[in-house]
Structure 1
């Protein structure tokens, strides 16, 4: 059943590769570009046929197998999705191509490319199109559009592994109906962003590229200067406001469709998310107010970077590593926190931060009044012990894996700031970091071992660690 589901994913990848192939036709690009996409499509189809020619009689999979399907699919997509870059020789080192593609699918936005604008339109399109695919989740898309390849309960187990956040919200009885609803909302919002960017006099191709980066909160651009290349306050505010929207839990948009406005604005995570973001904007605005010609510019830069980095998009306008230490510290904190659970953004997630604070409060109350019964609540509902226990466990695992990645790449980093910043940028799916991997730098100076480690970091961060770690367990591969 695992091989069968992976074969469906490869079939989808082959279909999606037709889109950048069409872009190559539109721009009449050289023959090796066509050949690179066609070869990749053929490889996907062959593997899909080999793994999926026999339909499994039993279509049930448990949670463990769902996690394995999820992790393997992301590594497989990154590995095969890198082939057009490698076959076309625009990224001659396969490890570099793998890093770039994993960065796209995981909506990280980190790059090893020193001259982005030298890439042909089709490869630039594919590079950003991976953001759109990976933003809502590859398996969400597979379940939404493919014929029934698994049972409803099997789909639930797969989505639990892929949809970010500690709690899986089942909106509709049938998972296929739920995934289609989410994707319609997602694509509808993306279309609106494309229109708004075009109204700001951004060319259609550029608007598509940046809309994909906004929707997936990935941040890849076809310009070396990113959003700064357009020198347009209108575009900066459109990007910032759009990123706030994509940083929300998509379940909230479903509530709006049902006209449950009270449940929307009373959502506790939403209020914390907007509160943290507003606080960060005001602190940075106050801290950098003397660095720019007027207060309007200072506020715009503060607003843009807080929305860009808290939602893990990583679009750039100015070099924030030249800001005062207070502003840089706030930036690091909000990148670690991230946006809402169930969004396309990375980071620990606001939901987990709220629960961590509430459990600390509960522990203090218990110490002061041992006989008092106190429940940890979210949205006025008591959380089961298993939920906040799993959040505590996740936080510990997060810190251990974070420091292990930092340790591995430190042998190849010019300083600790860069090693720390590279881990923050990849593990939280941010894109730019601090030090040598800041907005004015990239990851090209790392050796292959470090690039593979950071590729693992991006995928593990996108899947929130556990699905990837399960694949390293001997027990996970045993039957039963």
Structure 2
């Protein structure tokens, strides 16, 4: 492990973070919320730390896979520690554990919060919450690829370690160009949604904050009642549409912008994602008709919003789905395990993995009937490598194992069985709201500090897809 190179890259990432912390200051001065000094001090501390690491750790060696995993994992941890400073310095959050929980929830686009009252807090602090999600949505590490040429190292190792999903594909021969294209699409969609939300009555600050949270599949809002506070069908449908887009592989967005719409029709994962969204929405409309909503228009609006919000792991709320039928709640619980498409900003296990697991099972059943038959698992007509399938099976086993283990830990803190399991599902899948005491109208403030640390770890594991973090726990990883 080349620690000097690792810390040098982490230092460069902190330099970028120090600049990002300055973004809310103009909003603070405009609203006069008094939080500008806190952001200035937080930026200064981050800047000094980044400069010390960047110039104090020099190494001429190339970046290897080991350093890639270390940079990704510790990058998220460092961003959480330094990103929590605005909360602490402004006095909005007094507890370091709570501040780190909120910050990790932001950068991992989870959307779980310990804040009991949102409205009335400094506007710049709320914008920072949303900005952390926007930065973490596409990936802090992918953004850092743009500065890696200055360090004289390659970036594919980081790209493979960070980008969510079974595989990582380049759009351009140079990884830096790939990162720029992804962020270009990301910024474009964010700008379009901001404009549309402003047409719906939001001011620029609210529209930008909700666009940050939507395209990142985060879910932080500037209102206590989340999106429901606006009581606008137009705003609900705009956010529903962009939540759906956020759950799509961003490589497909790039191809669509180039006019290659056929790629959508040929992409099996996208078609399954679309069918899952429409199918669950239709079932929820049927289950909620009459018992919850008498108007078909309102029923479709709220059912589609919550389906898309949970499936993409955004976590916005326009309805208290705990008042819906038990079957409806179970459907939403199932979606919490699925998540968005590979290469999207969504969390969960990813649609591609669920689809490939199902196909693998079908091939296994077919081989029982026809032992001598040769049948391959394919995705979009292309055979899936055995190594990829083995990685998916291992990921599924680890995911479920972590869910059970973390649920036991949460139950040990005194939480009821439903809330303990739901809190783990909601954080491991980077969703935010769950069921029980962490439902859509509740928060995580009541959980004891140990439980918050467990859930903070779950957020990190879920966002970096388990392997990236757990590999660092093996002693052989650190040996030559």
Unaligned stretches of 5+ residues in structure 1: none
The CA deviation string for residues 303-342 of structure 1, in whole angstroms up to 9 with x for no partner, is 0100111000111111001100110010011111111000
Q: Is the 8 A contact 1:59 1:149 kept in 2?
A: no
Contact 1:68–1:470 (CA under 8 A) maintained in structure 2: no
Aligned match of 2:87: 85
Aligned match for 2:52, one of 26, 47, 50: 50
Matched, 1:27 2:22: no
- 1:444-469 deviation per Cα after TM superposition (whole angstroms, max 9, x unaligned): 01111110111111111000011111
Distance 1:293 1:256 in 2: 38
Measured in 2, the distance between the counterparts of 1:29 and 1:225 equals: 22
Shift of 1:363: 0.8
Matches within 5 A, 1:2-13: 2-13=6-17
Q: Quote how far apart the aligned CAs of 1:52 are.
A: 1.1
Whether contact under 8 Å (1:108, 1:429) holds in the other structure is yes
Task: After TM superposition, give the deviation of residue 259 of structure 1 in Å.
Answer: 3.0
Question: How far, CA to CA, are the matches of 1:129 and 1:102 in structure 2?
Answer: 12
**How large is the Cα RMSD of the aligned pairs?**
1.3
Is 1:407 the equivalent of 2:412?
no
Secondary structure of the 1:79 match is: helix
CA positional deviation for 1:261: 2.5
Q: How does 1:383-422 map to 2 (within 5 A)?
A: 383-422=384-423
CA contact (8 A) 1:309 1:335 kept: yes
The CA distance in 1 between the partners of 2:259 and 2:316, in whole Å, is: 33
> 1:212-242 deviations in whole A, cap 9, x for unaligned?
0101010100100111111101110101011
Distance (whole Å) between structure 2 residues aligned to residue 114 and residue 211 of structure 1: 22
Determine if contact 1:413/1:446 at 8 Å carries over to the other structure.
no
Query: Contact (CA 8 Å) 1:418, 1:437: kept in 2 or not?
Result: yes
Query: Of the candidates 38, 43, 50, which is equivalent to residue 40 of structure 2?
Result: 38
Q: Measure, in 1, the Cα distance between the counterparts of 2:96 and 2:153.
A: 37
* Deviation, structure 1 residue 362: 1.0
Equivalent residue in structure 2 for 1:17, among 21, 24, 31: 21
How far off is 1:277 after superposition?
0.9
* Equivalence for 1:366: 367
* Distance apart, 1:262 and its partner CA: 2.0
Structure 1 length-normalised TM: 0.97
Q: What is the aligned partner in structure 2 of residue 148 from structure 1? A: 150
Match of 1:437 in 2: 438
* Inter-partner Cα distance in structure 1 for 2:458 and 2:14: 23
Q: Please point out which of 94, 103, 106 is paired with 1:104.
A: 106
Who is 1:74 aligned against?
76
Alignment match of 1:131 (pick from 130, 133, 139)? 133
Q: Is the 8 A contact 2:428 2:458 kept in 1?
A: yes
CA positional deviation for 1:54: 4.6
- 1:439, distance to aligned residue in structure 2 (A): 0.9
What SS class does the counterpart of residue 130 from structure 1 fall into? helix
Contact persistence 1:6–1:48 (CA under 8 A): yes
What stretches of structure 1 move > 6 A for 4+ residues in a row?
none
The TM-score with structure 2 as length reference comes to: 0.97
Q: Pick closer, same or farther for the CA change 1:91–1:55 going to 2, 3 Å.
A: closer
Shift of 1:38: 2.1
C-alpha distance in 1, partners of 2:245/2:74? 30
1:312 is matched with 313
> Matched residues in 2 for 1:185 and 1:371: separation?
47
> Over residues 85-104 of structure 1, what are the superposed CA-to-partner deviations in whole Å (9 max), with x where a residue is unaligned?
11221111111111011111
**Following the alignment from structure 1 to structure 2, what is the Cα–Cα distance between the partners of residues 35 and 204?**
23
Alpha-carbon deviation of 1:210? 0.5
Equivalent runs, 1:279-358 vs 2, <5 Å: 279-290=279-290, 291-358=292-359
* Equivalence for 1:472: 473
Q: 1: distance between equivalents of 2:441 and 2:431?
A: 15
Match of 2:263 in 1: 263
1:50-74, Cα deviation, whole Å (9 max, x unpaired): 2111564434222222111100000
Residue 22 of structure 1: how far off its partner (Å)? 2.3
Work out whether residues 356 and 392 of structure 1, in 8 Å CA contact, stay in contact via their aligned partners in 2: yes
**Which range moved further: 49-58 or 406-415?**
49-58
Q: 1:18, 1:184 → 2: CA distance?
A: 21
Contact 2:7 2:57 in 1 (8 A): no
Shift of 1:146: 6.0
Please tell me whether residue 427 in structure 1 is matched to residue 431 in structure 2.
no
